[in-house]
Structure 1
Amino acid sequence: MASAARKLQLNPVDPENLLDPVPFYKELRESDPVHWSEAVHAWFLTRHDDVMNGLRDSRLSADRAKVLEHQFQMMGLSPESIREVTETFKRQMACKDGAAHLRPRRQTAAAFAPQVLDSWRPLIHRTLVTQLDKLRHQRQVDLVPEVFYQMPPLVIAELLGITAEDRERLQQWGEAVTKLTSTGAATNLMEAARQANEGQAKINGFLTALVEERRRAPGDDLISHMLRVQDQGGMPTEEVVANAGLLVAAGHLTTTDQLSNGMYELLTHPDQLALLRKDPTLLKSAIEEMMRFAPPVPFIHRIAVDNIELRGRTIRKGDIVFLGLAAANHDPAAFPDADRFDITRDPHQQKSMSFGFGPHHCLGAGLARRELEIAFEELLHRMPELRLDETSPPRIKSGGLMFRGFESLCVRW
């Protein structure tokens, strides 16, 4: 009985572990930091040093298109049923290594330079205020659908030069892809694959037309920035389309979830909320602590392209490796009193893995930080006495390992 209970406890996709993962992270870090999961058929690394080293180890490839193909085959899906999804992933910089990754990243990075991001602050603020003005006569609201789900995609759509109507369609198509690529999220796999493939095809068709329009008449939007930088002949249209799609997805899902995760932690740690209200200069360190303590992407996966010996275990070529970003963030070897939410931690001493590390460090980190800072500053200013709504408990998103956030976060003020 004890061994059976232990096996259940170490299952990464056990519902209890997905609902409350921190004890699971602790158990793995202490007892089996290089853990083979039969349930997921992959390795899990949970110690800070191992995760950090894994993110910069060239033997762990970011070619997640191969990972997805492997996962889909294990699910019983044919390559043809998800070809549009996998082919798009293959063209995205996040799924490339070495020079193939560096070239498109350099082109896209010009649009995320600090001075460019600072010029977008008024746009971010205006987008948030527009959403909050709709709530001016209310004293209770579900922040997820009314604010957090709206703000990031509106911002990224503005930055890409996409209209509100088109943004809603892109969001809907993108959700079908996310449902399939989140481990454990899909119940009817064949239908989920059909919808994801169809959604990806529609996204690609829309963005192809938009990219060609920007080639003819460039502006100040992100796509025009990407096209303006000519490095080794520039990116072909298919590559620009794939990476613009990556920006749409990444700019929406992760920031939306981080907003809800961060607000939940503030509201369930009233001493820290009171401290922030008393000293607004702590906002930047509070944002960093929110991202460390409850990141929206708990795991990121890689595929081994060579055998790797680690802590007495052998990760073999072709094995999938899940790098525990959230587990690393709770490692006491990197963060004193790691399971304590403390907004006074020195942000300059942070070793958070929330945005990754190494060559694939999140390109949109600066944009996300600015969105979070503006959102929390404005929300706390507009909503005095902000607290959770005791009549409607928060609901965490059910699903898999890749994304963590809230479906509902009802508040009063």
Structure 2
Amino acid sequence: MSSAAAPSDLNPVSPENLSDPLPLYRELRERAPVYWSEPIHSWLVTRHEDVVAGFRDPRLSANRTVFFEHQVQSLGPDSVSAFMRVIRDQMFMKDGSEHIRLRRNINPGFTAQSLDTWRPAIRRTMEQLLERVMPRGRMDLVKEISYELPPLVIAELLGIPAEDRERFRAWSKPMADFSSPAPDADMRVLAHEVNRATMAFREYLMAVVEERRRAPGRDVLSQMVSAEEDGKLSTEEVVANAILLVFAGHTTTTDQLSNAVYDLLTHPEQLQALRGNPALLGQTLEECIRFSPAVPGIGRVAVEDFELRGQKIRKGSHVMFLLAAANRDPEVFSQPDRFDISRDSAQTRHLSFGFGPHQCIGSGLARRELEIALELLFQRLPGLRLDEAHTPVRHHSLAFRGFSSLHVRW
């Protein structure tokens, strides 16, 4: 495969480009908007209009099981058998009518009306986390807020005891590591860990599903079990998609909250504007999500040969939509590299939650968590600032971007 030649380093997983991908995004958008990247064996798509069209294109499938199997093909077919068994039943791996069926039967728990009933629980949880750290005057935001809030909220949403959040973390991390391995990762180790975590997660949720059959509640998992009893979902689909909700909701919201706080603290004039006008919170949130998305890229697989901007995409090829690059497309966003919480609605067409049929089903929950978290953080900790005694520690990959450590004080 070939693509437009460019003199710069266009390796998306080089240490330099992972650390600061903005120059790469800019060059790809301008010179090679559809670019074959040999290091990751994938096409990179960076322009906003192409990503939007790609999410709608039936020639690009969400079913990436072959991609995951290829990652560990040298390890044998059973190396990630439990993991593969689960993801094959997850809605983000489905197309067409199968995707619609799964989403339709999971969606009732994620309507705006349903999610608004959980606002008090989100607020109560966030207040409890803040009360625990406020007397200290400093904390690692990632460890004590960002990493704590999402699993607690998801535990409420699924009706699972909050004390099991430690298990959620232990099971979610191997899934994140395997879904987006570091360039030097030992795939044998990652495969073993993700398989082990998946088996434990599945066993745990099977027991919870059985409990919900006996004593249903008003939680999302009970609604999914009800769909199972009506013959609309299988037990395996209920468990697989509950795992998806826990993993996706935990990993991405954790990173997005840390990214948002960092961007506000490093743009004091924007934070001052928000403090002066709390009505800007909604716009602020959308700008944070646009500017530093927790998920910078998402993949698709070509199911037939076709051409895009003069490049021949072959059947079976992996195509990566670089959402973070599309979010800074100057054809859509004025001054795209400027962090500006005053952007009007026409300037908030970011793609951080995807687009079209596969737009993130949990985006409404994530927005409510982030909105309440940011409101209370800056309200209860008016002197919040970065702790100069500690350097922020980022983690980077093509699929996830956030902080491993972000120390703040007040």
What TM-score, normalized to structure 2?
0.96
Check whether the contact 1:64–1:89 (CA below 8 A) recurs between aligned residues. no
Instruction: Tell me, in whole angstroms, the C-alpha distance in 1 between the residues paired with 2:228 and 2:392.
Output: 47
Q: How does 1:264-413 map to 2 (within 5 A)?
A: 264-347=262-345, 349-398=347-396, 400-413=397-410
The corresponding residue for 1:59 is: 59
Q: Match of 1:117, as an amino acid?
A: L
How far the C-alpha of 1:77 sits from its partner, in A, is: 2.8
Counterpart check, 1:97 vs 2:79: no
User: Is the partner of 1:392 in helix, strand or coil?
Assistant: coil
The corresponding residue for 1:44 is: 44
The corresponding residue for 1:197 is: 195
Q: Match of 1:37, as an amino acid?
A: S
Q: Match of 1:33, as an amino acid?
A: P
Check whether the contact 2:6–2:31 (CA below 8 A) recurs between aligned residues. no
How far the C-alpha of 1:119 sits from its partner, in A, is: 0.5
Instruction: Tell me, in whole angstroms, the C-alpha distance in 2 between the residues paired with 1:186 and 1:202.
Output: 27
Deviations 1:116-144 (A, max 9, x none): 11110000001111111101212111100
How far the C-alpha of 1:277 sits from its partner, in A, is: 0.5
Deviations 1:321-344 (A, max 9, x none): 000111000100110111100000
How far the C-alpha of 1:211 sits from its partner, in A, is: 1.0
Instruction: Tell me, in whole angstroms, the C-alpha distance in 2 between the residues paired with 1:231 and 1:201.
Output: 24
User: Is the partner of 2:35 in helix, strand or coil?
Assistant: strand
Instruction: Tell me, in whole angstroms, the C-alpha distance in 2 between the residues paired with 1:381 and 1:38.
Output: 48
The corresponding residue for 2:15 is: 15
Check whether the contact 2:151–2:168 (CA below 8 A) recurs between aligned residues. no
Check whether the contact 1:267–1:387 (CA below 8 A) recurs between aligned residues. yes
Q: Match of 2:36, as an amino acid?
A: W
Check whether the contact 1:8–1:14 (CA below 8 A) recurs between aligned residues. no
Instruction: Tell me, in whole angstroms, the C-alpha distance in 1 between the residues paired with 2:266 and 2:201.
Output: 38
Check whether the contact 1:288–1:347 (CA below 8 A) recurs between aligned residues. no
Corresponding residue to 2:247 among 239, 246, 249: 249
The corresponding residue for 1:170 is: 168
Q: How does 1:81-230 map to 2 (within 5 A)?
A: 81-184=79-182, 187-229=185-227
**Relative to structure 2, which stretch is displaced further, 307-316 or 347-356?**
347-356
User: Is the partner of 2:320 in helix, strand or coil?
Assistant: strand
Q: Match of 2:104, as an amino acid?
A: R
Pair 1:119–1:149, CA change in 2 (3 A): same
Pair 1:45–1:232, CA change in 2 (3 A): farther
Deviations 1:324-370 (A, max 9, x none): 11100010011011110000012354211000001000101111111
Q: Match of 1:25, as an amino acid?
A: Y
Instruction: Tell me, in whole angstroms, the C-alpha distance in 2 between the residues paired with 1:11 and 1:231.
Output: 49
Instruction: Tell me, in whole angstroms, the C-alpha distance in 2 between the residues paired with 1:104 and 1:188.
Output: 34
The corresponding residue for 2:261 is: 263
Query: Any stretches of 5+ residues in structure 1 without a counterpart?
Result: none
Q: Match of 2:205, as an amino acid?
A: L
How far the C-alpha of 1:7 sits from its partner, in A, is: 6.2
| Number of positions where the alignment pairs a residue of Structure 1 with one of Structure 2 | 406
How far the C-alpha of 1:165 sits from its partner, in A, is: 2.8
Instruction: Tell me, in whole angstroms, the C-alpha distance in 2 between the residues paired with 1:406 and 1:94.
Output: 25
Q: Match of 1:202, as an amino acid?
A: A
Q: Match of 1:404, as an amino acid?
A: R
What TM-score, normalized to structure 1?
0.95
Instruction: Tell me, in whole angstroms, the C-alpha distance in 2 between the residues paired with 1:47 and 1:71.
Output: 27
Check whether the contact 2:227–2:233 (CA below 8 A) recurs between aligned residues. no
Check whether the contact 2:283–2:343 (CA below 8 A) recurs between aligned residues. yes
Check whether the contact 1:67–1:302 (CA below 8 A) recurs between aligned residues. no
Check whether the contact 1:183–1:401 (CA below 8 A) recurs between aligned residues. no
Pair 1:311–1:348, CA change in 2 (3 A): closer
Check whether the contact 1:45–1:321 (CA below 8 A) recurs between aligned residues. yes
Check whether the contact 1:34–1:46 (CA below 8 A) recurs between aligned residues. yes
Counterpart check, 1:233 vs 2:263: no
RMSD: 1.6
**Relative to structure 2, which stretch is displaced further, 182-191 or 217-226?**
182-191
Instruction: Tell me, in whole angstroms, the C-alpha distance in 2 between the residues paired with 1:215 and 1:61.
Output: 34
How far the C-alpha of 1:100 sits from its partner, in A, is: 0.5
Pair 1:337–1:8, CA change in 2 (3 A): closer
Instruction: Tell me, in whole angstroms, the C-alpha distance in 1 between the residues paired with 2:173 and 2:349.
Output: 31
